[in-house]
Amino acid sequence: MAILEILEYPDARLRTIAKPVTCFDQKLSNLIDDMFETMYDAPGIGLAATQVDEHIQLIVMDISEDKKDPRVFINPEVTVLEGDPEKMQEGCLSVPGFYEDVERIEHVLIKALDRDGKPFELEATGLLAVCIQHEMDHLNGKLFVDYLSALKRNRIKKKLEKAHRMRA
């Protein structure tokens, strides 16, 4: 297993559109394990393959307190069950140190494949619903900062660019 490098905003590779997974092989299984290790190490509650520069429709997530509920979503699709938007504070491993309110659909039906390629369905509300929408945005090249005002987004961009310059 390995801890992978997480791309950070405004890295252009975060704008890549992910392709569906077609091959459920050992390579995919290894990537899933590495993504869990990377997410738990951060620590985070969700990570999309896009964030580790792998442009396939794969998400790992664990919203439990004790890292006891690892979930894998491959080629996910979301259907709106109740359209009422819910405001929740979001963060992102690709936007470290920044947290802002974003409006998301509060009740969704998720259809996805598990790590063996077996289809499953899951009704989600609360944090799980918010998190799957956040992670599916990554697969479409979208970040939570895109929902903020240009002023807030640019402030975050400048601060992260400065941090990256200091690191280099």
Interacting residues with ligand QAP (CB under 6 A):
42, 44-46, 90-93, 96-97, 130-131, 134
Q: Quick one: 58 or 92, whose CB is closer to ligand QAP?
A: 92
Per-residue binding letters, 34-73, with Co ion (x by CB under 5 A): ----------------------------------------
| Region from 18-26, 61-69, 87-95, 110-118 binding Co ion, contact rule CB under 5 A | 87-95
Cβ–Cβ under 8 Å, residues 132 and 48: no
Q: Which is nearer to ligand QAP, 31 or 61 (CB)?
A: 61
Q: Is 161 a catalytic residue?
A: no
Which residues are CB-neighbours of 165 under 8 A, at least 6 positions away? none
DSSP state of 95: S
State which residue, 45 or 58, has the beta carbon closest to ligand QAP. Answer: 45
Q: What is the DSSP string of 23-35?
A: --SHHHHHHHHHH
Active-site choice (8, 90, 106, 135): 135
Q: Is 153 exposed, middle or buried (0-12, 13-18, 19+ CB in 10 A)?
A: buried
71-90/100-113 β-pairing: antiparallel
- Provide the annotated active-site residues: 135
Binding site for Co ion (CB under 5 A): 92
